[in-house]
Structure 1
Amino acid sequence: MKFTALFPGHTAPRHRGPIPLLFTALVLGLSVAFAACTQKSETASEPIRFAFQNRIGSALPVIAVEKGFFADAGLDVKPLRFNNGPACAEALYSGSADFGTMGDTTAIISASRSENLTIIASHCTGEHRHRLIVRKDSPYTTLADLSGKRVGIKKGTSTYGGFLAALSAAGIPAGAITVTDLSPSTLPEALAAGSIDAFAASEPTPSMGELKGGRELMTFGGLGNRYPIMLLAQKEFLANRRADTLAFMKALKTAEAFVQAHPAETADIMARATGLPRGVMQSAMARHTYALALDASIMESLSDTAGFLKAQGKVQTVPDFSTACTDRYLN
């Protein structure tokens, strides 16, 4: 094709020898540059925004950040620390985060409300990690004793789902106990001040409550729920930055191995992160199992909880877990 066809108004040159070679070199150079730009856009050119809870159940994210495992994997991760799952879910839903962790109830609610999120793993489970705390001098000995009383809980959390399940198992109507929606960080003080009669939360809040004059009334174990803490991601991120996602999961896997191999150092790091004494931290960590997984038992637990939440009117639809979940980044 003549240059006059490509660039109207220009006359074809007389010397045709070196021009094709120069043109070919130019095209190849532009192709390489374009490929480099394309490759750059698919890598960690932008920081990975990770919303996680600064709580005992989130030992893997905390350790991965504190020990520099994300940086070792070549990633620039911006940690966003929250004290409850709904805050992490809001960060994901609003597009302020690429990855986020939350309890099973929050994950189910999020997946039922948005098709832009994918559940990719659980990083912790603990059947007894949610506890109901009352004051030491209170007369309450059973859940039924709290009928007509005020219980502080952060609504929409995994703890709230466990509380509803405990009420159902005991045959207590949900409206029999007044639920006061409070941030977990305020619950121990609210109980000590007498503004609530009890509170329910996941660690470290129950242990903090015990340090401030509380005692355990019960856990929400024995109800067929493993209470997995789920890791969710933006679908667009997963599609555009697969290599970064795999490196991200590799860093969490390194954190998992560290937690299992160095429990004492892990307890020290988590004690500094949460403000709990080391001994209390070790006792609280014993209520948790830290592992990256999305196996049949976790899927069954999610499915059962989703069905229960729908029956309770907390979600309108049960998520299609065949499309809302994937374990491809674990293998």
Structure 2
Amino acid sequence: MKKSMVGLGFAVCMLAALVAGCGSGSQKTEKEAPQAASQEIVAYGVIDPQISAQQIIADKKGFFAAEGVKVTNKLIQSGGDISPLISGGTAQVSFETPYTDIAVAANNVGVKIVAPMADIGNTQAVVAGKNVTIQKAKDLEGKKIGIAAGAGVLIAIRNMCTELGVDINKIQFVILSPSDQIAALDRGDIDLMACWEPWVSNAVKAGGKLLFSGLNSYLPDKQGPVSWLSFYTTMQVTDQFLKEHPQEIQAMLKALKKATDFIHEHPDEAAEIIAKEINLDKEQVKRIMGQNKYSMQFDDHFKKSSDEMASFMKEMKNIPSKPEFRQYADPTLLKQALPELVTVAE
């Protein structure tokens, strides 16, 4: 996989640019398509099955067209590049993560998440080197962990330490890029690496041992599902687009729900469609997608995760202030289009 895969470390580098800046499917569907929208909508996304899976499926399976909206997907290499596009008004509709939305909102840019797309916390993980033995979580104390600057996987490490009684102050963090982490882990310069896909899988293939992710633990003294990091991908629109095109947004949301259902019901075909669109190996795409929870449920867990991310960003000094959740998220149109998906407390 390429550097486009989701990780918060690289997104930090785009904030300076942000502040400074302050193909269509043809398959027929069973139902007759509503009257097509007169305006073509350009939806920005990323060459990444974690961020743009539903966006791609909704296009290639004709779900957008079936809901009467003309959508052209524009997929770019790095999610971090979407921040300045939102800030400058180019990306009126986009798919990225709350990190991006929080960053632009903190810099007084009008943007709203209209729906979550997936929880990809399972792809944010910690891997031990092949010669490192971890018999219990406390064994992490005194170890060196490679991590990218500002990487959100640090939230998972913190929550793990709190739950399992590990003194995080006794862990030495070494700032390294994902590729440098792989090399350093192989040489033994670091004991563990904290990163995201595809680097996690690459480290495991090289002999490393997966210890835990944001959603699952494989530690000897803690195994099974955990809630150490929920890292969501989202659909967001600018405030102006939200005000001027509510019907189009609702139509897109209905199409994206169809795409979400398709991913669950036809994982092989979904992976094949996405792999072809972003020029990646089908099996690799299927494996990564299998780790994600594709859901548009706008609930309290999503809000809590976003609040935690905003607090983390403020602490890391990635943003000047922490915006309130409703400053960058609004479930109103999702509730009107698909009321069963919205359960967040008002």
Q: TM-score when scaled to structure 2?
A: 0.67
Matched, 1:173 2:177: no
Conserved 8 A contact 1:120-1:327: yes
Residue deviations 1:29-59, cap 9 Å, x none?
xxxxxxxxxxxxxx65454141235133542
How far apart are 1:266 and its partner, in Å?
Answer: 1.8
Question: Structure 1 residues 44, 161: CA separation in 2 closer, same or farther (over 3 Å shift)?
Answer: farther
Matched, 1:117 2:111: yes
CA distance in 1 between partners of 2:70 and 2:290 (Å): 31
The residue matched to 1:292 in structure 2 has which SS? coil
Conserved 8 A contact 1:121-1:294: yes
CA distance in 1 between partners of 2:90 and 2:186 (Å): 36
Mapping of 1:1-331 within 5 angstroms? 45-56=39-50, 58-72=52-66, 73-83=68-78, 85-138=79-132, 145=140, 149=144, 151-153=146-148, 155-156=149-150, 158-163=152-157, 165-166=159-160, 170-173=166-169, 176-180=172-176, 182=177, 186=179, 190=183, 194=187, 197=190, 198-221=192-215, 222-272=226-276, 273=278, 275-276=280-281, 278=283, 281-311=285-315, 313-330=317-334, 331=336
CA distance in 2 between partners of 1:217 and 1:90 (Å): 35
Question: Structure 1 residues 64, 133: CA separation in 2 closer, same or farther (over 3 Å shift)?
Answer: farther
Conserved 8 A contact 2:314-2:320: yes
Question: Structure 1 residues 317, 269: CA separation in 2 closer, same or farther (over 3 Å shift)?
Answer: same
Question: Structure 1 residues 224, 166: CA separation in 2 closer, same or farther (over 3 Å shift)?
Answer: closer
How far apart are 1:178 and its partner, in Å?
Answer: 1.6
Conserved 8 A contact 2:40-2:72: no
CA distance in 1 between partners of 2:80 and 2:130 (Å): 30
Residue aligning to 2:222? none
Residue aligning to 1:33? none
CA distance in 1 between partners of 2:187 and 2:207 (Å): 12
Where do 4+ consecutive residues of structure 1 move more than 6 Å?
Answer: none
Question: Structure 1 residues 71, 214: CA separation in 2 closer, same or farther (over 3 Å shift)?
Answer: farther
Question: Structure 1 residues 192, 224: CA separation in 2 closer, same or farther (over 3 Å shift)?
Answer: closer
Question: Structure 1 residues 64, 172: CA separation in 2 closer, same or farther (over 3 Å shift)?
Answer: same
Residue aligning to 1:16? none
Conserved 8 A contact 2:45-2:74: yes
Conserved 8 A contact 2:87-2:109: no
Moved more, 168-177 or 224-233: 168-177
CA distance in 1 between partners of 2:209 and 2:282 (Å): 17
Question: Structure 1 residues 139, 110: CA separation in 2 closer, same or farther (over 3 Å shift)?
Answer: farther
Name the aligned partner's letter for residue 172 of structure 2: A
Q: TM-score when scaled to structure 1?
A: 0.69
Name the aligned partner's letter for residue 50 of structure 2: I
**Aligned-residue CA RMSD (Å):** 3.5
How far apart are 1:255 and its partner, in Å?
Answer: 0.8
Moved more, 233-242 or 72-81: 72-81
The residue matched to 2:241 in structure 1 has which SS? helix
How far apart are 1:256 and its partner, in Å?
Answer: 1.0
Residue deviations 1:246-273, cap 9 Å, x none?
2222221221121122122123334554
Residue deviations 1:85-132, cap 9 Å, x none?
433333322333222333344433333223311121111014433112
Conserved 8 A contact 2:40-2:70: no
Name the aligned partner's letter for residue 110 of structure 1: V
The residue matched to 2:69 in structure 1 has which SS? coil
CA distance in 1 between partners of 2:101 and 2:168 (Å): 26
CA distance in 2 between partners of 1:174 and 1:97 (Å): 43
More helix by share: 1
CA distance in 2 between partners of 1:44 and 1:144 (Å): 61
Aligned residues: 283
Question: Structure 1 residues 317, 50: CA separation in 2 closer, same or farther (over 3 Å shift)?
Answer: same
Fraction of identical pairs, as percent: 20
Conserved 8 A contact 1:92-1:234: yes
Structure 1: gaps spanning 5 or more residues = 1-42
CA distance in 2 between partners of 1:140 and 1:214 (Å): 12
